[in-house]
Amino acid sequence: MAGMNRLRLLIGILGLVVAMLLPGCRGEPTSPEAEVRALINSAVAAAEQKNIGMLKNLISKKYTDEQGQNKQAVEGLLRLHLLRNETVHLYAHIQSITLPQPERAQATILVAMAGVPIASAQELPTLRADLHRFDLNFAREGKTWRVQQAAWRRAEPGEFLSP
């Protein structure tokens, strides 16, 4: 059970990372914060579509986490989770994005994961959903933002409802 929860957390992380690839496809210049925000939203969509290839591209080769996992370990867990779950539905609330350096970004995201669509945070108390808080460190590698480090913990429904 603990392994499955860790796997769900990693899926959420990787889903958030997918959004990093899309800003490079636009013709108009955007701010780094807008690029990271778009990346997070795109990662959520990729995770729901079980697009493992896109998710893998969002993880840096330099990835590490509190469990001592590297990029390869996270990719394996992601693949396993997506294969085991018939459907994946995510609701993500970006709490903050900061840019401590021009090529670095930090984001805190609340993510709810369920087997049914989640329309709003108000639905969370009535759903059977896994709730997590992710603290992600991004680095720009070339023209692409990638996740280099991640930490997470369980979240409570009320955290999704606060501003």
Largest Cα–Cα separation, the chain: 45
Residue type, 163: P
Residue 74, helix vs strand vs coil: helix
- For the segment(s) 2-161, the CATH number from 3.90.180.10, 3.40.50.300, 3.40.1280.10, 3.10.450.50 is 3.10.450.50
Report the candidate in 41, 48, 24 with the shortest Cα–Cα distance to residue 116. Answer: 48
- For each of the chain's 163 residues, which pLDDT tens digit applies? 555 555 555 555 555 454 344 444 445 558 999 999 999 999 999 999 999 999 999 999 999 998 999 999 999 988 887 888 889 899 999 999 999 999 999 999 999 999 899 999 988 888 889 999 999 999 999 999 999 999 999 998 889 887 6
Helix or strand (DSSP H, E) at 51? none
Terminal C-alpha separation, the chain: 32
CA–CA distance, 95 with 104 (Å, rounded to integer): 17
DSSP 8-state assignment for residue 121: G
Of 106, 143, 137, 138, nearest to 25 (Cα)?
143
pTM, entire model = 0.79
* pLDDT value of residue 153: 94
CA distance 147 to 149: 6
Domain ranges of the chain: 2-161
Q: State the virtual CA torsion across 153, 119, 99, 21 in degrees, nearest 10.
A: 100
| Encoded amino acid at 32, one letter | P
